[in-house]
Amino acid sequence: MEILLATFSALFSVVNPFGAMPVFLTLTQDDTPQHRNLMAKRASMYMVLILAIFFFAGQYVLNFFGLRIHDLRIAGGIMILKAGFDLLTTKSEPGKKVSKEVVEEGIQKEDISFTPLAMPMLSGPGAIAVSIGMFTKSLSYLNMVLTIVAIIMVAFASYFILVSSHRLTAVMGKGGLAALSKIMGFITLAIGANFITSALIALFK
């Protein structure tokens, strides 16, 4: 249960589906509810696939380039720190996670589920770094299964938030979304700091 909850909380904070809501609404504003739900469903499924692949194959990629897991955790921690800092300090659209160019490109596409929704919005560099960092050779098969279950739980939560984005936006308003974005940014900062400190402690040992 500790692995399940820790993986879910870490990934959910970094994925931050609330931050994807404004762009999702922009890209699907002219779509039918059925099409919006389909895009959210596909994006969540792609996110599970992407994070699961990096969870299992990430260690081999690191070995190929001669990198250690501690190197990735430090680099990933820096990226996560930056993402959290951006969420705390942004004065633009709450939860903005992609550039205007990506949004404009997405408007022209009929299927936005893989890009830009699944990647880079839901499973961006920070989420991928967390997924790779979760894998260690000492993990049992049960712990691996629990980690994948946690990824699926994050995907379900992301799907529910995206399909409910219109109602959530109406209830919370821009002020509520901005406040929520800053809370998620603070938690993301803490996760990035944890990645860096745990890697440094392991290196010094």
Q: Distance between CA atoms of 203 and 205, rounded to whole angstroms?
A: 5
The number of distinct structural domains making up the chain is 1
Lowest mean pLDDT among 10-24, 25-39, 103-117, 128-142: 103-117
Identify the pLDDT of residue 101: 66
Identify the pLDDT of residue 44: 96
189/87: higher pLDDT:
189
108/42: higher pLDDT:
42
Identify the pLDDT of residue 166: 87
With CA atoms as reference, report the closest residue to 18 among 130, 111, 132, 154.
Answer: 154
- Are 181 and 95 spatial neighbours (Cβ–Cβ below 8 Å)? yes
With CA atoms as reference, report the closest residue to 126 among 20, 45, 13.
Answer: 13
Identify the pLDDT of residue 171: 86
Question: Residue 82 is part of which domain span?
Answer: 2-204
- Amino acid sitting at position 25: L
What is the CATH classification number for the domain harbouring 14? 1.20.1250
Identify the pLDDT of residue 53: 95
The answer, yes or no, to whether residue 179 has pLDDT greater than 90, is: no
Q: Distance between CA atoms of 13 and 69, rounded to whole angstroms?
A: 21
State pLDDT tens for residues 60-107: 888 888 888 888 889 888 988 988 888 888 654 444 556 666 666 666
